[in-house]
């Protein structure tokens, strides 16, 4: 007689282990994907769809080359404009160094003209006057203009250089009361500021205090 306690080999009373996927792990895997990887997957899916349709693939290829051609044309136009602007500025300001070196000579000549005004009727003065007109015509032809330095006008730090301040009863504070050296602009660009004297408020004099003698 067989032992009743002998187990049937086909019967297994132990429960089988079932692996249940962890939802948290799948969520974390998706979160770990970068935006670049997600975009790459989307592009890959689109390419797979396009590969199935030859016409769609051809249209996408044409659109790609059209955008490339438009960007190239825009870059070429910007380059042409930049080169044209640089060429214009090179011509416009090409003589700036020469004019800057010439300005001190013109200053000295003008001072000589001021000193010779006492003999304005002499032939020498008239000849110097003609030379002065030629120099002014040369500067004008090069696009050189004098900086605005009207007596009584406001001091402008963009074109004026204040050499000193003086009290003035005739002008308000911050007004030009004397020009020591002219300023010049070349094509609207300042090449030398004007040296000026600027007015300031008069200092209040303290009242005299009488001291009584004891």
Tell whether the model's pLDDT for residue 209 goes beyond 90: no
Dist CA 174 CA 197 (whole Å): 9
Give residue 205's pLDDT: 53
Dist CA 197 CA 149 (whole Å): 11
Give residue 16's pLDDT: 52
Dist CA 112 CA 117 (whole Å): 9
Per the document, the length of the chain is 214
With b for 16 or more beta-carbon neighbours within 10 A and e for fewer, the 52-81 pattern comes to: eeeeeeeeeeeeeeeeeeeeeeeeeeeeee
Dist CA 197 CA 2 (whole Å): 131
- Whether the model clears a pTM of 0.75, i.e. scores above it, the answer is no
pLDDT digits (tens, 9 = 90+) for 21-47: 454 444 444 455 677 777 677 777 666
Contact call for residues 182 and 146 (beta carbons, < 8 A)? yes
pLDDT digits (tens, 9 = 90+) for 92-144: 777 888 899 999 999 999 888 888 888 878 888 889 999 999 999 999 998 89
Distances (CA, A) of 68 to 57, 78, 79: 17, 15, 17
> What 8-state DSSP symbol labels residue 116?
G
CA 163 to chain centre: 29
């Amino acid at each position: 007689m067989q032992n009743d306690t002998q187990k049937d080999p086909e019967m297994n009373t132990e429960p089988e282990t079932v692996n249940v996927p962890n939802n948290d792990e799948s969520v974390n895997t998706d979160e770990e994907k970068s935006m670049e990887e997600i975009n790459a997957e989307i592009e890959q899916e689109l390419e797979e769809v396009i590969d199935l349709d030859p016409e769609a693939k051809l249209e996408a290829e044409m659109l790609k080359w059209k955008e490339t051609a438009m960007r190239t044309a825009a870059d070429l136009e910007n380059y042409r404009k930049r080169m044209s602007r640089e060429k214009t500025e090179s011509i416009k300001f090409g003589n700036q160094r020469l004019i800057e070196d010439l300005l001190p000579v013109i200053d000295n000549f003008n001072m000589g003209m001021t000193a010779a005004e006492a003999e304005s009727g002499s032939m020498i003065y008239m000849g110097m006057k003609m030379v002065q007109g030629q120099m002014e015509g040369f500067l004008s032809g090069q696009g050189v203009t004098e900086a605005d330095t009207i007596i009584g006008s406001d001091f402008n730090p963009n074109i004026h250089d204040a050499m000193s301040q003086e009290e003035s009863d005739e002008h308000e504070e911050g007004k030009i009361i004397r020009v020591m050296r002219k300023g010049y602009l070349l094509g609207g660009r300042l090449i030398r500021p004007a040296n000026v004297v600027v007015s300031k408020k008069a200092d209040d004099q303290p009242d005299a205090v009488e001291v009584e003698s004891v």
